[in-house]
Amino acid sequence: MKWTLRLWLVTLGIILIWIYFLFISPKIFNNHIITIPNVVNLSEEQAIEELNKNKIKYQITYIENEEEVTLKTVPYAGTNIKSDYVISLYVGKIMPAAYKSYLGRVYENIADEIELMCNNHGLNLKIEYEENENTISGVIIRESLVDGSILNQGDELCLTISTNHSSYMLPDFVGMSIDDALSLIQEYNIKVNLTYIPTPVDEDIIIFQSTPPSTLIQKNNPYALDLYISKGVKPTTVIDADLFVEVIHNLGYEMEINYVNSNDLENKLVAFEVQKLYDSNIVKYILWITK
């Protein structure tokens, strides 16, 4: 019985010693305190060398940056940590630039932007032209680089630009004088119907067109474009109020209506005043209408 008890005691002692050296002793003697050094603005190699010298464990996270240097550590430099703690090391990286597609854009409008991009990344720009009846002249219809592809110095960017002598993009005539609009219409050789209506807009200014701007139109098209032109009105002009109110509403202007008594005129505009708030880009019409 005594031998059995001694055997159990010896076995228990061995187990306790094993637990001590395996789990307790390392935490007491090896887990000492370390101060994180300042590695900000060092290269990645220099920062790693400094951390290894101080026996600090780390994990690296790369962040897009203009310079390839160490940006920060978490925890920050000067913080005391235990030797088994893993800090985060944030390193800046210059990420490769990617190509952004110019398809469908008018080359003339973005020529400076494309030239700057090519100069910054060392690309060779080549321009080709191709007849295309499905779009207007000057539009980029094909490019040699794929959208999102990495830009490498020495790459060639070939842009194919459309030419089209049989069609055009319809301009925005609203706000133009009828004389200026007619000179363009004559150049495109399309038919036009003109309708004059009294409005608070200046005389001979186009206020509406039947076909929206940027519509692709074939030259010599038999289609007739309807243009509505302002006849203008004088503040003392007596006209039908409903037409006047409808025009102002369609133009998106603000209105304030004041009704005045009249013995023989009903629902007639007898005067109006225009208020232009330029700071907020608001135009407001104050109307006086008979009742």
pLDDT in tens, 169-207: 778 888 888 888 888 888 777 788 888 877 666 788 887
Q: What is the pLDDT of residue 278?
A: 47
* pLDDT at position 203: 83
| 88 within 8 A of 74, measured Cβ to Cβ | yes
Q: Could you report the per-residue pLDDT of 108-161, keeping only the tens digit for each?
A: 889 999 999 999 889 999 999 988 877 777 889 999 999 989 998 899 999 999
Q: What's the whole-number average pLDDT of the chain?
A: 81
Among 9-23, 70-84, 100-114, 219-233, the least confident range? 9-23
Cβ contact 31:84 at 8 Å: yes
Higher pLDDT, 137 or 101: 101
CA distances from residue 250 to 253, 256, 273 in whole angstroms, order as listed: 8, 15, 18
Q: Does residue 88 sit in helix, strand or coil?
A: strand
C-alpha of 116 from chain center: 19
37 compared with 209, residue with greater pLDDT:
37
Residues 6+ away with beta carbon under 8 Å from 19: none
Confidence at residue 188, expressed as pLDDT on a 0 to 100 scale: 74
